[in-house]
Amino acid sequence: MDILGIETSCDETAAAIVRDGREVLSSVVYTQIPLHQPYGGVVPEVASRAHIEKISGVVAEAIKGGGKVDAVAVTYGPGLASSLLVGLNAAKGLSLALGVPLIGINHIEAHLHTPFLVDAAGLVPGVGMGPAPADMMPALGLAVSGGHTTWMDMPSYGEYRIIGQTLDDAAGEAFDKAAKLLDLGYPGGPVIDRWAKGFWNGVKDFSDAAALKALAYPVSIRLPEGLPRFPKGHPRAGTAALAGLDANLCVSFSGLKTALLYHVRQHPPADDAEKAGLVAAYQEAIVGTLADRTATALKRREYKALIVGGGVSLNGRLRARLAEVASAAGVPLLLAAPKYCGDNAAMIAGLAFCRRNLAGEAAFAVDVEPTLQPGDAGA
């Protein structure tokens, strides 16, 4: 079954065709990052206008290989209401015109489908599709992006129970805000990742982004004397209890951002090398917090896998730390290919197949739900 997926929840306009939930036949992502760069963050009005301009072309490109579309899947939340509306209306129109079911998909849940996506061209003989989602359950899921930092218990495939989350800023937001403060550009995560790699490799010139990207992190990392030890993002127990969650599985990144602000006010970095040291220390605080929480969550239940998705899972240092944590717990770490870490529509089409009974599922009543949580009733 070939499903057309559509994604417009934030600043990427995306469409994809995925066969039987796993095999990506096409995936087109138009990123609006350059449009938002001058503002240092996503401007909702600019985002929705750009989605309107691009959606037809992006969908046309995704389906240009021909073939039959058996269903249309679309993100209906969470995200920016005015952006979600563009994708949802396009999907409703296509579903009506093609006479196929419409399936509303939760964006955060879809991020956890990304490790199961395989490029049609990249199918490895003997390995094939890799493990099937259902065989990896129960799993611990971590969605870590610009809008979300959420740990989920997945008892079976398609079931999500939040067990921990950020009580304020998402990890990606913590990266983006720090980069803004230090004038490093937007989005902040990739720049901080590159500069931190440069720092650990003793680089002095931070102007060559491609060269920095190509570097690897050293195997063992210890913050040298003189760099600030930023506090881990551990929330106070009371605040987590208010959200009905265990404080040991929750994080809070707003204090970290303030600590960086105060540090920079008192000790403004003299040059790029000092700035790089600062972001390396800041990244260690975020990554260390995420790794600790994940290790704690893995002790709570016998899991078969750790599944991680979302834009921040591109971070090289986080990938390494999570690999250590998973190996200590004796579970495989399932990460997406880099091109499926950020927002894309293949994850929407893929999840739609894997968790749905498609019969009679023409969900035209579905509306956008900007604050949708994982595990909320499906559309």
- Which residues contribute to the site for ligand KG4 (CB under 6 A)? 10, 145-147, 172, 175-176, 187-190, 193, 310-312, 314-315, 342-343
Contact (Cβ atoms closer than 8 angstroms) between residue 378 and residue 106:
yes
Q: Which entry of Zn ion, ligand KG4, none binds 133, CB below 5 to 8 A by partner kind?
A: none
Contacting positions for Zn ion (CB under 5 A): 145, 343
Contacts of 53 (CB under 8 A, 6+ apart): none
Q: Which entry of Zn ion, ligand KG4, none binds 369, CB below 5 to 8 A by partner kind?
A: none
Contact (Cβ atoms closer than 8 angstroms) between residue 241 and residue 159:
no
How many whole angstroms separate alpha carbon 26 and alpha carbon 228?
45
In the bound complex, what is the minimum distance in angstroms from residue 107's beta carbon to Zn ion?
A: 6
Q: Which entry of Zn ion, ligand KG4, none binds 315, CB below 5 to 8 A by partner kind?
A: ligand KG4
Contact (Cβ atoms closer than 8 angstroms) between residue 144 and residue 172:
yes
Would you report the helix, strand and coil content of the chain in percent, each value rounded to 5?
45, 20, 35
CA distance to 153, 191, 210, 229, per residue, from 280 (Å): 31, 11, 18, 11
In the bound complex, what is the minimum distance in angstroms from residue 203's beta carbon to ligand KG4?
A: 17
Q: What residue has token string 């691009």?
A: 54
Q: Which entry of ligand KG4, Zn ion, none binds 188, CB below 5 to 8 A by partner kind?
A: ligand KG4
85 φ/ψ angles, rounded to the nearest 5 degrees: -60, -35
| Residue in 184, 189, 181 with CA at minimum distance from that of residue 147 | 189
Q: Which entry of Zn ion, ligand KG4, none binds 5, CB below 5 to 8 A by partner kind?
A: none
Nearer to ligand KG4, 23 or 173 (CB): 173
Nearer to Zn ion, 27 or 212 (CB): 27
Contact (Cβ atoms closer than 8 angstroms) between residue 74 and residue 59:
no
Nearer to Zn ion, 169 or 343 (CB): 343
In the bound complex, what is the minimum distance in angstroms from residue 275's beta carbon to Zn ion?
A: 28
Q: Which entry of Zn ion, ligand KG4, none binds 228, CB below 5 to 8 A by partner kind?
A: none
Beta bridge partners of 16: 5, 27
Contacts of 118 (CB under 8 A, 6+ apart): 22, 23, 24, 129, 130
Q: Which two tokens stand for residue 216?
A: 């690897």
In the bound complex, what is the minimum distance in angstroms from residue 191's beta carbon to ligand KG4?
A: 8
In the bound complex, what is the minimum distance in angstroms from residue 360's beta carbon to ligand KG4?
A: 31
In the bound complex, what is the minimum distance in angstroms from residue 41's beta carbon to ligand KG4?
A: 10
Q: Which two tokens stand for residue 68?
A: 């039959």
Q: Which two tokens stand for residue 261?
A: 């602000």
Q: Which entry of Zn ion, ligand KG4, none binds 164, CB below 5 to 8 A by partner kind?
A: none
In the bound complex, what is the minimum distance in angstroms from residue 219's beta carbon to ligand KG4?
A: 19
Nearer to Zn ion, 177 or 275 (CB): 177
Nearer to Zn ion, 115 or 198 (CB): 115
Nearer to Zn ion, 83 or 145 (CB): 145
In the bound complex, what is the minimum distance in angstroms from residue 186's beta carbon to Zn ion?
A: 16
Contact (Cβ atoms closer than 8 angstroms) between residue 113 and residue 351:
yes
Nearer to ligand KG4, 95 or 150 (CB): 150
Nearer to ligand KG4, 71 or 105 (CB): 105
